[in-house]
Structure 1
Amino acid sequence: MTLSYRVLIALLTPLIFIYLWVRGARAPEYRKRWSERLALQTVPVQARDGIVIHCVSVGETVAARGLIEDILRSYPQLPVTLTAMTPTAAELAQKLFADRVYHYYLPIDTRGAMARFIEKFAPRCVLILETELWPNLLAEAKRHGAQVMLVNARLSAKSLRSYQRFSWLLGPIWSALDLVICQHVDSERRFQQLGVARERTVVRGNLKFDCQVPAATTRAAKQWRTELARPILVAASTHQGEDAIILDAFARLIQAVPELLLIIVPRHPERFREVTSAAQQRFSTLTRSSGQTVSASDQVLIGDTMGELLFWYAAADIAFVGGSLIPRGGHNPLEPIATKTPIISGRHVFNFQPLFDRLTDVNGVRLVDDAEQLAEQCLQLLQQPVQGQTMAAVASEEFAAEHGATARVLADIQGLFPPPNGQARTLKMILTSNPNAATEIWFDDNLATAVSDDYFAPSFWRQKGQIIGSATGRASAWFIQHQPQNMLLRHYYRGGLVGKFNRDRFAREAIVKSRAMAEFSLLLQLRELGLPVPQPIAARYQRAPIWGYRADILVAVIADSQDVFKLLLQRSLTAAEWQSVGATIRQLHQAGVYHSDLNCHNIMLDQAGKVWLVDFDKCGFRTEGEWQQANLQRLLRSLLKEQGKAEQSQQLFHWQQTTDWPHLLQGYEQA
């Protein structure tokens, strides 16, 4: 993004909060969860390292429902976080997915807020629905190395002109997209005009055509309708200016059909009270949120709950789709088509004109202008239900061939971002505990249950007689006999000059970035990639009094193994073993993993000859660069250093640079 954009969004941020406060006068939810608007909230570690799906509002959430369900099934080891901008979308996400996903507001697109957001969630993949693109979000996601995909993407000619006009402000945001999955060919062409590479665009259809009605919803609606034993008209997604027209039409209708029940579902929750009051002035009115049963005397029911629109459509004899009697542009008719409910709409449907044109061509919709026409068309369909059934059938048939976009989109996502292998352990599976206010422990309960502070104290294991050895280095590490997996306990110490007066305190930082937790997370990722590294068991962060923190980690012991340094004190390594060492280091480098302390103490060989790499403190992922050769040179220096020390102490050290190092390099180059 450009400097101009950064300055502009920073200046707009106070105005955004003023807007939220003003909007909150009618919808109090807008005045809540403000910390999320700046990414200042606390995020559980289990939400990290997964998938973020951004659905700006209700429409995108509804469209993506089937895809989100498929992602939850396809990526069971990864956390899924849904983000939105509106309280209604947040409430709907909770209603549809409950605790199967995390939900937060996407923060305001300042550089700082987005950096915090990406740092806290560390997503592997970011999926953005339709065209909700924010420059700082894209920049921070790519800086972190996440795959970014625009899903169900659509771009009108008007939007294309707007993006082109403001390209000086937004900057080259399109290059940050790894894949754009378009609804139709016209949108694909427009995205390419904006600069998205041809090979990064595909056309897969509209997710909204895959609107599926859960069997449980259909059964519940049928049962409710049977118990009610009354004809039902639902007016869905209504806007200000429409409700009075609908109530006028209803007043005409009940003269002919007095048992008719009208269900009004306002589009925005802040209008629930307003619409309820208007209906109460004219009719016996009940709200869904009251929990009361609809009686024979009730004439109007206000659908003032979230996530039930499909239920209302499935229960109704007729569906009026709102936002269309006024110049609002209408709403998506695909949901009542999915429930096979006859549709009536106003003529202001320019937001969904292609869909309504197709419905009009096959007589799958009735269009009206006012209360009189609405009442007339409803009465005709109520008195001649076969006409309504025919309308619903032809509407459903018209879009039947469009189904399947969800499966195609999921295949594209999996192609670019494959699910983890079935044996992988991820942060989503890790448990946390807080023995006290100063301590946090992460642990894998597959390997250790009920991990306490005692697990990180050598004296605890010594009293139990379970310490079976130690390793020396900057300080001792302890080998512990434990089922189902022997463990190595390591406390983190300071090195260099600082370590002479500060043995083990580190400057405080976010727990997820602290030494032990960062190494724990990295080891999980490396094992998922199939790299030969120890399995992490537990890690502890302990805030120290006054200043800093201390850290410890427990990892699985690599059975029947010795480090290269100890082996060279006993014997020479074969050419094949040196080549295996080189090949393993290359495997690490090809995965983009930087080992900050690659030396002969941190390379292990087991009895089967397999090479393992250990001690990943201060390590991480990097893009390809000179660091890879620097890693090799660090290893060479450590071998030469140990050779020199051995000579000084008149010990044998079975290492010859002229013969052994070329074998290692050969293995590295050939891997």
Structure 2
Amino acid sequence: MLYLKRRGRKDPLYAQKLSERFGRYRRDVSNPVWVHAVSLGEMRSATPLIRALLAQGETILTTHFTPAGRREAEREFAEEIAAGKVQTVWVPFEYGFTYRRFLKHFAPKYGLVMEIEIWPRMIMACRKQGTPLFMCNAQYPLKSFEKDQKGLGLRAALVAGFAGGFVKSEGQKSRFSAVGMRNIHVTGELRFDQPIPQHHLKAAAACRNALSKGRPSFTLTSVVEGEDALYIDMIRQTDGVLFTYVPRAPERFDEVAQMLETAGLRYARRSDLLDDDLGLNKPAPDIDVLLGDSLGEMYFYLGLCDRAIVGGGFVPKGAHNVIEPLALKKPVVVGPHIWTIEYPATEAIAAGVCQLVPDEAALRAEVRAPTPVTDTQITSFYDSHAGGVARTLAAIPNALGR
């Protein structure tokens, strides 16, 4: 509660609808398919699968821990929420009684936990209630896997408590199997099937030249705390390039703006420069940086660039999604810490569509003289990894024993 109160000072949604955190909800859907997408990235990966489940006639309940995930669900499925086909709520606090209330209230058919979220009470309550709970779009990063082989191995034991898993690759299957998970199905990466909002691309095309003024353009996506000094220093030392700078967390927008100001960079905020429809509401100024201070508009920001630099790779917590830029045929640059996106980053690097740079000097060199990448390379790589939604839909009945 103290954590939520503190976070609520920057984002009031953290401190709203607190009764849901204790397992008390209104009921808009009954006997739904439950999708747990803790935050923004997980929600985006879940979106194409949810669309496919809705097309099969299912009702959907999504649970989240962060406002970013909840807002994305409410934005993406606004029509379905209004029609009573989708409901979004906070996931309960990690107590047995909260999950008993949650499961009794909604009686979900089964649960899909996106990526690798492991909550002991959630797992145990579902087993006791008889609610099948699966990992979905799951990966078991090597760093976590090796750590779990040591000591008491408690997390590994909890992994075995799931009813099964829909995992990204054969390599991931072998890791999950090694810690005792059964009923594992290789379904690929759902993000390859994400819908692309065409109005974002049209808006980007309409204002790209006005902003770049003929310069090469890079978009820095999902930049996390701890990387800003490196990226801002790189921007200061790079002439003749437009950078679009998109922090991952909305509570950091003002902080990053101040950093750009202090660095003496010419910048403009998306909220000042563009209207609600992503059109320029004033003549484009001469800027070095467009600060992307909005949520849910990543494809617009990517539409402005020639290449993307994916954030997170220069801190130990690890890099974020490389798939969105590749979907738009934008070559990708990542820092050295890619353990969080081992699949598909390793495959993308091998295919030559993603460049791994070990340090700031290598990053500057790649920006100044980008490695050649063709649209054909990216298309071939992307097409070979798409189809995760169809494979997951086909695997669900088998996983349930139907």
The Cα of 1:67 is off from its aligned counterpart by 1.0
The Cα of 1:157 is off from its aligned counterpart by 5.3
Q: Distance in 2 between matches of 1:92 and 1:379?
A: 35
Q: Which amino acid aligns with 1:274?
A: E
Q: Which amino acid aligns with 1:410?
A: L
Q: Distance in 2 between matches of 1:114 and 1:68?
A: 22
Q: Which residue of 2 aligns with 1:33?
A: 17
Question: Which among 332, 348, 351 is matched to residue 343 of structure 1?
Answer: 332
| 1:127–1:148 Cα contact (<8 Å) kept | yes
Deviations 1:456-476 (A, max 9, x none): xxxxxxxxxxxxxxxxxxxxx
Q: Distance in 1 between matches of 2:270 and 2:376?
A: 30
The Cα of 1:408 is off from its aligned counterpart by 0.7
Alignment of 1:12-23 (within 5 A): 17-23=1-7
Is the counterpart of residue 289 in structure 1 residue 275 in structure 2?
no
User: Which has the greater radius of gyration?
Assistant: 1
Q: Which amino acid aligns with 2:261?
A: Q
What residue ranges of structure 2 are gaps of 5+ in the alignment? 81-85
| 2:39–2:68 Cα contact (<8 Å) kept | yes
Question: Which among 174, 184, 190 is matched to residue 160 of structure 2?
Answer: 174
Q: Which amino acid aligns with 2:188?
A: G
| 2:265–2:288 Cα contact (<8 Å) kept | yes
Q: Which residue of 2 aligns with 1:305?
A: 294
Deviations 1:498-519 (A, max 9, x none): xxxxxxxxxxxxxxxxxxxxxx
The alpha-carbon distance between structure 1 residues 354 and 286, as it changes in their structure 2 partners (threshold 3 A), is: same
Q: Which residue of 2 aligns with 1:155?
A: 140
Instruction: Return 167-176 or 145-154, whichever deviates more.
Output: 167-176
Q: Distance in 1 between matches of 2:162 and 2:309?
A: 41
State the identity %: 27
The alpha-carbon distance between structure 1 residues 111 and 171, as it changes in their structure 2 partners (threshold 3 A), is: farther
Question: Which among 87, 94, 110 is matched to residue 109 of structure 1?
Answer: 94
Question: Which among 169, 174, 177 is matched to residue 192 of structure 1?
Answer: 177
Per the alignment, in what secondary structure is the counterpart of residue 237 of structure 1? strand
Q: Which residue of 2 aligns with 1:94?
A: 74
Q: Distance in 1 between matches of 2:173 and 2:362?
A: 40
What residue ranges of structure 1 are gaps of 5+ in the alignment? 1-16, 382-386, 420-671
Is the counterpart of residue 334 in structure 1 residue 316 in structure 2?
no
CA RMSD of aligned residues (A): 3.1
Q: Which amino acid aligns with 1:90?
A: R
Q: Distance in 1 between matches of 2:13 and 2:342?
A: 32
Question: Which among 204, 212, 219 is matched to residue 234 of structure 1?
Answer: 219
Per the alignment, in what secondary structure is the counterpart of residue 64 of structure 1? helix
Q: Distance in 2 between matches of 1:23 and 1:322?
A: 22
User: Could you state the TM-score of these two structures normalised by the residue count of structure 2?
Assistant: 0.84
Is the counterpart of residue 261 in structure 1 residue 245 in structure 2?
no
The Cα of 1:79 is off from its aligned counterpart by 2.5
Bigger relative CO (Cα 8 Å, ≥ 6 apart): 2
The Cα of 1:341 is off from its aligned counterpart by 1.0
User: Could you state the TM-score of these two structures normalised by the residue count of structure 1?
Assistant: 0.52
Deviations 1:148-188 (A, max 9, x none): 322122234554563885566997773551x3222222333
The alpha-carbon distance between structure 1 residues 86 and 362, as it changes in their structure 2 partners (threshold 3 A), is: same
Q: Which amino acid aligns with 2:391?
A: R
The alpha-carbon distance between structure 1 residues 109 and 321, as it changes in their structure 2 partners (threshold 3 A), is: same
| 2:40–2:68 Cα contact (<8 Å) kept | yes
The Cα of 1:264 is off from its aligned counterpart by 0.8
Question: Which among 51, 54, 58 is matched to residue 36 of structure 2?
Answer: 54
Per the alignment, in what secondary structure is the counterpart of residue 171 of structure 2? helix
Q: Which amino acid aligns with 1:118?
A: L
Is the counterpart of residue 408 in structure 1 residue 391 in structure 2?
yes
Q: Distance in 1 between matches of 2:336 and 2:153?
A: 35
Q: Distance in 2 between matches of 1:168 and 1:242?
A: 32
| 2:169–2:343 Cα contact (<8 Å) kept | no
| 1:237–1:322 Cα contact (<8 Å) kept | yes
Deviations 1:402-428 (A, max 9, x none): 211210101222556799xxxxxxxxx
| 2:319–2:337 Cα contact (<8 Å) kept | yes
Per the alignment, in what secondary structure is the counterpart of residue 131 of structure 1? coil
Alignment of 1:270-285 (within 5 A): 270-281=251-262, 282-285=264-267
Q: Distance in 2 between matches of 1:165 and 1:209?
A: 36
The alpha-carbon distance between structure 1 residues 303 and 186, as it changes in their structure 2 partners (threshold 3 A), is: same
User: Which consecutive segments of 4 or more residues in structure 1 shift more than 6 A?
Assistant: 167-173
| 1:135–1:173 Cα contact (<8 Å) kept | no
The alpha-carbon distance between structure 1 residues 195 and 348, as it changes in their structure 2 partners (threshold 3 A), is: closer
Q: Distance in 1 between matches of 2:194 and 2:134?
A: 21
| 1:212–1:338 Cα contact (<8 Å) kept | no
Q: Distance in 2 between matches of 1:123 and 1:158?
A: 33
Question: Which among 209, 216, 231 is matched to residue 246 of structure 1?
Answer: 231
Q: Distance in 2 between matches of 1:248 and 1:319?
A: 17
The alpha-carbon distance between structure 1 residues 163 and 252, as it changes in their structure 2 partners (threshold 3 A), is: closer
Q: Distance in 1 between matches of 2:339 and 2:174?
A: 22
